[in-house]
Amino acid sequence: MGPGPHMSNAPEVTPVRVADRPSVGHDLTMESVRGDVSRVRSGMLTRRRALAPDLVARASALVVERILGLPEVRDAQVVGAYMGVRGEVDPSLLRDEPGFEVAFPMTREGEALRFVVPSGPLRTGPFGIPQPDSGREVYPCTLDIVLVPLVAVDSRGNRVGHGAGFYDRTFADCRGSDGGGPVLVGICHAFQVVPEIDPRPWDVSMDLLVTDAGLIRPGG
């Protein structure tokens, strides 16, 4: 399933302009965003971990509300999500929504992600992230939509992840010449959207971005 068209009945969300966003940090210039990924990652992670829990909860609720209004979600049967940790926007509330199933990733070092619709409680896995202990496995390329965590992203959908490459490895093979595979939706705080990121050859870009400040459709 490829990126859906921009439909007239989509929720009225004001797109976030790069110029309106807070800067990443005093020492993170556009040049460093393009050339020093490790520095950007470190600065963003520090800023995100410092967020108050109530601020993270409010941002997560806004993002979930906007996700539920997307036409791509209304047509979905299985949505890939994750459990937010350490200040991440947390989409796990979607698990309680009717109309679709939610699959969570299971991680093993050096391997692609496995997505599982859990049949019981989640348990803490690698990197301190809760993940399914049992349930029905879903092949990643057959997911309708995947909500992707990130550290930084630009308005073209180029993403900086946490550095392990799980999502790039998992979804690189889903992107054929026909544009198939799940719709990849990057979700984050508005301050994590930066002016420009130089993509690396193995990076998989996002089809859509949802933040607490708005909705961005790269190329739209």
Predicted confidence pLDDT, tens digits, the chain (220 residues): 444 433 333 333 333 333 333 333 434 434 445 557 888 889 999 999 999 999 999 999 999 999 999 999 989 999 999 999 999 999 999 999 999 999 999 887 767 899 999 998 999 887 888 889 899 999 999 999 999 999 999 999 999 988 777 898 889 888 764 557 899 999 999 999 999 898 888 889 999 999 999 999 997 6
Tokens read off for 165:
């490459």
Secondary element (H or E) of residue 199: none
What's the pTM value of the predicted model, to 2 decimals?
0.81
Q: What is the pLDDT of residue 178?
A: 57
> What's the angle, vertex CA 157, arms to CA 32 and CA 186, rounded to 5?
105
Contacting residues for 54 by C-beta, under 8 A, at least 6 apart: none
Mean pLDDT across the chain: 82
- Taking only the tens place, the pLDDT of each residue in 75-92 is 999 999 999 999 999 999
In the chain the domains, ranked by start, together with CATH numbers, are 19-97+142-216 (3.40.50.10420)
- Cβ burial, residue 125 (10 Å; 0-12/13-18/19+): middle
